[in-house]
Amino acid sequence: MLDVFGPLEIFGARPEAFSITLIGPDAGAVASNQGPAAVCNYAYAEAPECDIVLVPGGMGTRRLVADETFLRWLAAWADRAEFVTSVCTGAALLAAAGLLDDRRATSNKQAFRWVVTTSDRVKWVPQARWVVDGRCWTSSGVAAGIDMALGLVAHLSGEEDARGVATHVEYEWHSDSSWDPFASVYGLEDIESSPSA
């Protein structure tokens, strides 16, 4: 749930700059793996265009990564966005949809070895809190999405504004995107960044 609501807390702290819409298989309640439901404003088929697409991770990505209908929809819908972002294993969905082709990206470190199997067209980065490559922003696991969201706020409206948001929500922002204590926890420190990491 933090994959979704961590970044939304950051964007929601600046309502004058960001309007948040939740999209799911159907409008209405969608259960999380943790139990509580999130309420989606639109079904995929009715989803409006967005400037920033955020694809969260979680256990549902294991099923969706093989859902060709979903992947075609995601590729077409997200292609019109100014920024395409992911948290955790959401990168697997972006990769499988072809949205990360020939770009650098990262993902959750515990699931990293699985995520890299979803596309050999991606330059997977094993040691990074988040990675920016053009319009694509991908973050490591769960809480790293908050750091990435603050990084995007800094990119759009300046570091001072991002630090103001972090202070407002009483969050200690890890603003160095290369800071990644979890790559070594999961034995990824010796993996080189490459299309087939």
Catalytic positions: 88
Q: Which position has the token pair 């699985």?
A: 114
Is the CB of residue 109 less than 8 Å from the CB of residue 77?
no
DSSP H or E segment with residue 152:
helix 144-157
Q: Where are the beta strands (DSSP E) in 51-119?
A: 52-55, 83-86, 104-105
Residue 83 φ/ψ, nearest 5 degrees: -130, 135
Alpha carbon 187 to its chain's center: 22
Query: CB within 8 A of 170, min separation 6: which ones?
Result: none
